[in-house]
Amino acid sequence: MSNSALSDTVFQTYLDAPTSPKLALPAKSCDAHVHVFGPRAHFPFSPNRKITPADAPKEKLFALHKRLGIERCVIVQSVVHGYDNSVVEDAIAAGGGNYLGVALVDVDVSNQELKRLSSRGFRALRFHFMKHISAGYDVKQVLQLTFRLAEVGMHLQVHFESELVHTIGVALLDSAVPVVIDHMGRVDATLGENHTDFQALMRLLDNSNFYVKVSGIDRIESNAHAGSGYPMGTQLAARLVTNFPEQCVWGLDWPHPNHTHIPDDGELVDALSKIAPTSEALKNILVNNPHNLYRFEN
């Protein structure tokens, strides 16, 4: 697709007015996976992006969180902005200590830049191994980088297709820092919890160095749509929370790029009543675990 074609087609990826959730969230609840896009007039999109989403600036994100009862957040740099992390850095600075970040960089990032990112509130680096996003990275190079991440107090976040849990996932056992797996390893929820990919994901989590985001219930269930309740994705998320209560964090994945439909953020919050059905479980994944993993200071 040419850059001009990208500029001509803008995709809306989020609802301006999601439903208000019925579930009341505990104080200091954290949404550990969102993005910000633009505004393009101030933060240009990467020429290598696959789509052009509508602007989803920090002001929209802050308003959404206020509506949903979310006080803390981790903003993940998107490929929409490439390696220029300034859009996330700007949102962190405006977040009053309640917003932190995950950066995108190349594997040869300098030590000076790692220290700078850490000082600006970035707690991790994210690497994609998804075919639809990029050709992926050499996991050996990423593992070498983890030794430098340890020196600046950052961890590793990875996004991979479910079958890669058996290869990329296993290789990451050698990471020098904690590893956070995005969106439940993108397993196919329709295959159930006994499928080999989900079982391999749980074996990784037997290692306390691994964490998982119980986000993406709306992504891992084929033919899912807003209003469905995402029962299959919710069931897998609940299993992870039950089995690994101290290694799960949660996120909306707003503003829902590269998706089959536009989820209702209020519905995603209400799904937490099934994912973490006790007050203890809910506080773990929304408050305690993200506080410990991301080191919120206030």
In a domain, residue 45? The reply is yes
In a domain, residue 270? The reply is yes
Please report the pLDDT score of residue 144 as a whole number.
98
pTM above the 0.85 mark?
A: yes
CATH of the domain at 142: 3.20.20.140
Q: Do residues 129 and 168 lie in contact, with contact meaning Cβ atoms separated by under 8 Å?
A: yes
Domain with 78, as residue range(s), is 31-294
What digits encode the pLDDT tens for the residues 53-93? Answer: 999 999 999 999 999 999 999 999 999 999 999 999 999 99
What digits encode the pLDDT tens for the residues 6-52? Answer: 556 899 999 999 999 999 999 999 999 999 999 999 999 999 888 89
**Is 197 noted as a catalytic residue in this protein?**
no
What band does 272 get if pLDDT is binned at 50, 70 and 90? very high
In a domain, residue 26? The reply is no
Please report the pLDDT score of residue 261 as a whole number.
95
CA distance 117 to 120: 5
What digits encode the pLDDT tens for the residues 97-148? Answer: 999 999 999 999 999 999 999 999 999 999 998 765 555 688 999 999 999 9
Considering 55, 182, 253, 265, which one is annotated as catalytic? Answer: 253
In a domain, residue 22? The reply is no
Please report the pLDDT score of residue 1 as a whole number.
40
What digits encode the pLDDT tens for the residues 139-192? Answer: 999 999 999 999 999 999 999 999 999 999 999 999 999 999 999 999 999 999
The type of residue at 249 is: V
Number of domains in the chain: 1
In a domain, residue 6? The reply is no
Separation in Å, CA 179 to CA 64, 143, 149, 242? 28, 11, 11, 19
Residues 6+ apart with CB under 8 A from 77: 35, 85, 87, 88, 101, 102, 103, 104, 126
In a domain, residue 11? The reply is no
- The residue whose two tokens read 């807003």 is 226
